[in-house]
């Protein structure tokens, strides 16, 4: 069975600094997707960034980038120039992609990120 | 575009009762997935509906059932509520084909007393 592990329950970063959130996963599949979702205190989960396993290039979205190490089954999120609005729970998630459609999301337990002014 | 909407926002029920939660998907999406998020945990997949049928199911008992309507909206039903069913229930929608992101609703907070 696929599993996702986030080993940092809480992280803290100074405003304008850079922080990296860790995620490891376990799977025997070769074709899958990895995601980082953000859940602010208002609860609505929003997608931060997505990585297709078949792509070697690391995904980037503005201040957010990932370090995808397929052999090591590692998928970390780097947030540059941290802003107060980045404070939230961050969830790493995994999904298979088969038969032309996306499978269910498997989430880690999350990392609570605090941003200090 | 209203995005994914869920109702009600909060709900308090007593053990043994039954509850129905509702979800309307984002415009253009035909697939609805339900997740349970216990306090301090990541969401856990309950089931996914497409074409009014349950397509995938997570490790949840038969007390959890669902339905999808022709307009793609969905309901989650939980029978014989237990204290452990207290959680945030999230609905997510997406197109069925293609590797698109799942858009989440704000959730329904269920408290079982």
Distance separating alpha carbons of residues B100 and B40, to the nearest angstrom: 27
Give me the residue from B43, B90, B100 closest to A102, CB to CB.
B100
- The tens digit of pLDDT for each residue in B19-60 reads 999 999 999 899 999 999 999 899 999 999 999 999 889 999
Q: Tell me how far apart the alpha carbons of residues A55 and A62 are, in angstroms, rounded to a whole number.
A: 19
Mean pLDDT of the region B10-14: 97
**CB-based contact A44 B106, cutoff 8 Å:** yes
| Tens digit of each residue's pLDDT (9 = 90 or more) over A44-77 | 899 999 999 988 899 999 999 999 999 999 999 9
pLDDT digits (tens, 9 = 90+) for A21-38: 999 999 998 888 999 999
The number of CA neighbours under 13 Å toward the Cβ of A15 is 5
C-alpha dihedral, B43 to A31 to A101 to A111, nearest 10°: 20
pLDDT digits (tens, 9 = 90+) for A86-107: 999 999 999 987 666 667 899 9
Q: Supply the pLDDT for residue A100.
A: 62
pLDDT for position B97:
73
Question: Closest residue of B to A112, CA-based?
Answer: B40
The predicted pLDDT at position B82 comes to 98
């Amino acid at each position: 069975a696929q599993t996702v592990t986030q080993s940092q329950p809480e992280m803290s970063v100074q405003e304008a600094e850079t922080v990296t959130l860790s995620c490891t996963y376990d799977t025997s599949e070769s074709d899958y997707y990895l995601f980082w979702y953000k859940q602010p205190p208002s609860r609505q989960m929003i997608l931060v960034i997505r990585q297709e396993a078949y792509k070697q290039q690391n995904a980037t979205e503005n201040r957010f980038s990932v370090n995808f190490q397929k052999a090591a089954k590692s998928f970390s999120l780097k947030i540059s120039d941290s802003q107060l609005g980045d404070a939230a729970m961050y969830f790493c998630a995994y999904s298979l992609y088969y038969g032309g459609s996306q499978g269910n999301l498997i989430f880690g337990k999350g990392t609570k990120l605090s941003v200090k002014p | 575009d209203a995005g994914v909407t869920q109702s009600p926002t909060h709900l308090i029920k007593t053990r043994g009762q039954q509850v129905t939660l509702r979800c309307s998907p984002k415009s253009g999406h035909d697939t609805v997935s339900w997740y349970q998020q216990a306090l301090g945990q990541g969401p856990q997949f309950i089931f996914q509906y497409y074409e009014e049928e349950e397509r995938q199911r997570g490790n949840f008992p038969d007390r959890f059932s669902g339905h999808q309507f022709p307009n793609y909206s969905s309901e989650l039903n939980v029978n014989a509520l237990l204290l452990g069913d207290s959680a945030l229930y999230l609905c997510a929608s997406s197109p069925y084909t293609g590797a698109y992101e799942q858009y989440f609703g704000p959730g329904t907070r269920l408290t079982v007393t």
